[in-house]
Amino acid sequence: MMRKLLTFLKAVAIATLIAGCGGTGTENEPEITPEIKFTEDIVTSGISVESAEQSITLSFSTNVAWSATVSADWLTISPSSGEAGKNSVKVEVEENRTGQPRSATITISDKESMQKVSVTVRQEALKASLTVSPESLEFSANKGEEMLNVTSNTDWVITKDAEWITLDSDKGKGLATIAAGVTENTSLTSRTGSITVSTSDGSVKKTVSVRQSGADVVFSVDKNEHSVAAAGGDFTVKVTRNIGYKINSQPEWVKQTGKVPSGNTDTYTFTAEANTSTEAREGVIVFCNDNNECVPVTVKQAGANATLSVSPAELTFTANTESKSLDVTSNTAWTAASGASWAKLNKTNGSGNAQIAVTAEENTAITQRSATITIKTADGKASATVKVTQSAANVIFSVDKNEHSVAAAGGDFTVKVTRNIGYKINSQPEWVKQTGKVPSGNTDTYTFTAEANTSTEAREGVIVFCNDNNECIQVTVKQAGAKASLSVSPAELTFTAKPESKSFSVSSNTDWSVASSADWVKIGTTSGSGNAHVTASAEENTATTQRTATITLKTTDGKATATIKVTQNPADVVFSIDIKEFSIDAKGEEITIKIKHNSAYSVKSMPDWVNQTNKTVSGDTDNISFAVQHNPGYKRQGEIIFNGDGIYGTVTIKQFGSKADGGNDDTTTGGKITLE
């Protein structure tokens, strides 16, 4: 560009010189034609400059006085006029912040504007630059503010995409600090938004992300308990929250009648209905948030004073089944009870005003009956009664069947007694048992069980029912006889040798007799009937050998028999001698030996001067007498020997002699001594 400017100045200088040489300076000079000399290239091609602020100098020559103008305010020229000759002007170019290329013209003209030369100035657009820091902003749930630093070489604007984001300015130029903030986040969820800074030409944009945390859960009521008078009334509950919630439940006698939101607080108005009951009542209003966290509000209401009345005061019924009603008027809970089971109430409790149906069951009795219905308040402070009277019925007393047959094995049968008068079972066979009774209305169904007839004989009995008027009805029971049977247990009895008793069982359904085949077996009874226990006793067996017998049982008709084998063990061998040694005088004597035994034995041997003279038996004891002969010689000694099966015994006889060395000189013969 500077080369073009130099060329232009040279051209102006040459033109000036040529013009000076042409005249003489006389007053008869010819008229001058204005000329302004610029390089043709500049006039034709113009001048191009950068976008930055800058100065340029234009040089030109003219042969007349001149003036200069510009077509745009972003160009300033100085000087703006001058005289003929060589001239130069300084042009100030402002920075181009429009974001678009621009152009304007510089015009040099003579004073009369007869001659004009224009030069076009073209300026490039400014290339915008923009930075913003930080690139993101983080905020707690509370209201807050952070600073954004904007650096640019041009004008810029700043915008936000959320109402909860605040900015202290919406535009700027060059370098600036912007206060960016957030309002309080009362929601439980975090939220995000953005701030956008753009150059005025829109060529550069920077976005700053903004995130704000969710608030802590707030969920509470101002008061957890309210008391209301029995007459009812209003009360308020304030719920402070930042989370969704609802009323989960409330007492049916408490109604929500209003709700006024204010910020994060809702003020509810509730109305408790009048409590007509005497009982205080209590209920709970439950508020639950979206996290299923619940807050209860207890409502307590006092009870009203109790009232109670019934109508009519008396009810009268016929003997047939009949229903009537009575009215209860009350302001509280109550209970109703009948004093008789035949007077039925369709409800035994209630609350407030109600109607009770009273049903009198059929009176099958022959006497009038009465009952009292009592109604009381739940607290027992008030009560009312209704007298109930029912007429008597005609006498009814009968059975469905007067005779029943039962198999020998026994079994059940039923008797239905229809009555309206008191009665009882006056008598019945001992083998017939009452096992059940089911009343139904005026009919009693009895179940009787006939025991098995173990006898072979058929039998018959009578059940007698008698009413309170001493009128009786007989029901005959006939039962067949069983087939005869007989058995004993055990089949064998074993006794020791000592006296002993044992029993055996007899199972039979008829009469029987019993006998023993041996007189040492004694039977406790010789006859019986049905089942029995019989005692058998074995006398002592003094023998040393076992013995047996048979007990035989027979039914009376002889069609069945049973036997028991009886065995008795032998006695232990008994053999004892009362005196084992005798000293006898020389003259001799008779001695007696007592032998107790239970087994056979004999005298095996004895001295030839000893003779057996006698033997007496008494039970198991033998008294045997021996005569010891006179000893004429010296003293002597011998033995009497007894033996038998497993038996051996001796008796020593020592006898003095008649001679001196025998120790006894008596020579008398004879002599008999019996020792008992």
| 530 dihedral zone (left: phi>0; alpha: psi -120 to 50; beta) | left
Strand partners, 637: 654
| Low-confidence spans in the chain with pLDDT less than 70 | 1-30, 39-40, 661-676
Report the C-alpha gap between 141 and 185 in whole angstroms: 5
CATH for 575-662, among 3.40.50.720, 3.40.630.30, 2.60.40.10, 2.170.150.70? Answer: 2.60.40.10
Omega before residue 134 within 30° of 0, cis: yes
What DSSP character marks residue 214?
A: P
Fold of 308-390: Immunoglobulin-like (2.60.40)
Torsion of the alpha carbons at 341, 347, 351 and 356, rounded to the nearest 10:
-90
Distance, CA of 118 to CA of 105 (rounded, Å) = 6
Residue range 219-301 in CATH 2.60.40.10? yes
Q: Tell me which residue of 176, 102, 182, 118 sits closest to 146, measured CA to CA.
A: 182
What is the per-residue pLDDT for 40? Answer: 61
Predicted confidence at residue 30, as pLDDT, reads 61
Range(s) for CATH 2.60.40.10 in the chain? 2-123, 130-212, 219-301, 308-390, 397-479, 486-568, 575-662
**How far is Cα of residue 78 from the mean position of the Cα atoms in its chain?**
104
Q: What pLDDT was estimated at residue 60?
A: 85
Is the distance from CB of 156 to CB of 200 less than 8 angstroms?
Answer: yes
Among the four given CATH numbers 2.60.40.10, 3.30.70.20, 3.30.420.40, 3.30.390.50, the one describing domain 397-479: 2.60.40.10
Which CATH code for domain 2-123? 2.60.40.10
CA atoms within 13 A on the CB side of 656: 18
| pLDDT in the model for residue 670 | 40
| The pLDDT value given to residue 671 | 38
Give which of 517, 499, 519 is closest to 564, Cα–Cα: 517
- pLDDT for 599: 81
Structure confidence at residue 11 (pLDDT)? 39
CATH of 486-568, one of 3.40.50.150, 2.60.40.10, 3.10.20.30, 3.40.640.10: 2.60.40.10
pLDDT for the residue 28: 54
Question: CB within 8 A of 22, min separation 6: which ones?
Answer: none
Q: Extract the runs of DSSP E, i.e. beta strands, from 395-467.
A: 397-399, 403-406, 411-419, 423-427, 432-440, 443-450, 459-467
Neighbouring C-beta atoms of residue 455, cutoff 10 Å: 19
Q: Which fold has domain 130-212?
A: Immunoglobulin-like (2.60.40)
DSSP secondary structure string for all residues of 36-105:
EE--HHHHHH-EEE-SS-EEEEEEEEESS-EEEEESSTTEEEES-EE-SEEEEEEEEE----SSS-EEEE
Alpha-carbon distance of 532 to 504, in angstroms, equals 9
Q: CA–CA separation, 34 vs 550, rounded Å? A: 189
Looking only at Cα atoms, what is the longest distance across the chain? 251
- Quickly tell me which residue has 């009176």 as its tokens: 363
* Token reading at 82: 């001058």
